[in-house]
Amino acid sequence: MSTKSPCYNTAHNASYSQVSMSPPEVSGSATTSGMHSATSSSYAGSASGEYDSSGSSAAGSSVDLVELLNDRMTGAFDPLPLDRGLAKQAQTSGELNAKHRELMELQALAQRRLASTRVNFADGMKAAKDVKKDLDWTQKRVSALKTKAERKYPTEYKTANNRYPAIADY
């Protein structure tokens, strides 16, 4: 064991339970939202030889770095805000997908209505053309009858025309 720092025992495994370095000192400038900065001066002990990575320190003082980092991250990291954010993101994504499906359904409905309106408009145009054709035929027929009546009965036609004048054409 190193003489500079005390050993910390955990109840995990006797051969990997000793840490040969001291925990980092907490300073006001070295913290960022409750987490220690890796560049703070409290980690200088590892660089100055407190931790010997070659394993030549005291026998049985091996350090499980993964477990040590996991323990420190577990203590410093609060997953609750991330879980809330992930839940909010999933909820928002679900709402967005629902709105997208609703928009697709409304678009399909609008396309069906447009197709129906086009069919109705085409039917209406056909009916209007038929009415115009019928009116033109009727106008020709009335004009022909009027001409025939004027030739066959000129005095009666003139009297009737004076008594009931024709409506002005548009």
Average pLDDT, consecutive stretches of 10 residues, N- to C-terminus, the chain (170 residues): 47 49 55 46 47 49 84 80 92 97 98 98 97 96 93 92 77
Residue 149 dihedral angles phi and psi, to the nearest 5°: -65, -40
* Alpha carbon distances (Å) from 82 to 71, 74, 89, 120: 19, 14, 10, 56
3-class secondary-structure state, position 12: coil
- Closest to 17 measured CA to CA, from 8, 29, 27, 4: 8
pLDDT at site 60: 52
Q: Quick check: 36 and 27 in contact, CB under 8 A?
A: no
pLDDT at site 21: 57
Residue 93 to residue 61: CA distance in whole angstroms: 50
pLDDT at site 2: 45
pLDDT at site 69: 86
3-class secondary-structure state, position 36: strand
| Size (the chain), residues | 170
pLDDT at site 142: 92
pTM of the model: 0.41
Residue 129 to residue 125: CA distance in whole angstroms: 6
